[in-house]
Amino acid sequence: AQSVAQPEDQVNVAEGNPLTVKCTYSVSGNPYLFWYVQYPNRGLQFLLKYITGDNLVKGSYGFEAEFNKSQTSFHLKKPSALVSDSALYFCAVRETGANNLFFGTGTRLTVIP
């Protein structure tokens, strides 16, 4: 069975500092991993995905994520946080053969001016 964990409900970071939002996963076989962002009163927006290939994946708005197979992690990163990055971030996973994405519980990122 597939599952994904986001260990931090809330992450606070100062504007201009690097940010990391953590995600670990559990699947049978190879994982397909994703990050989505949800701004207030909006639906989720796709940020990036890892299917295969380079472990470092670049996505929208300057975000990137690193796939680490040995640690079963897919942490979201950005070198310099903006106040406008403040939102709810969801990690998601799909295992081979499954029909749907399984979302984590979300991490609220607050970037402090």
Q: Which residues bind another protein (CB under 8 A)?
A: 32, 34, 36, 41-46, 49, 88, 90, 92, 94, 99-103, 105-106
Closest separation in Å from C-beta 101 to another protein = 6
In terms of DSSP H, where are the helices of the chain? none
> Which amino acid would we find at residue 94?
R
The CB density around residue 94, as the number of other CB atoms within 10 Å, is 19
Closer CB to another protein, 85 or 107, in the complex: 107
Distance CA 25, CA 82 (A): 27
Distance CA 3, CA 87 (A): 22
Closer CB to another protein, 17 or 60, in the complex: 60
Closest separation in Å from C-beta 27 to another protein = 13
Closest separation in Å from C-beta 80 to another protein = 26
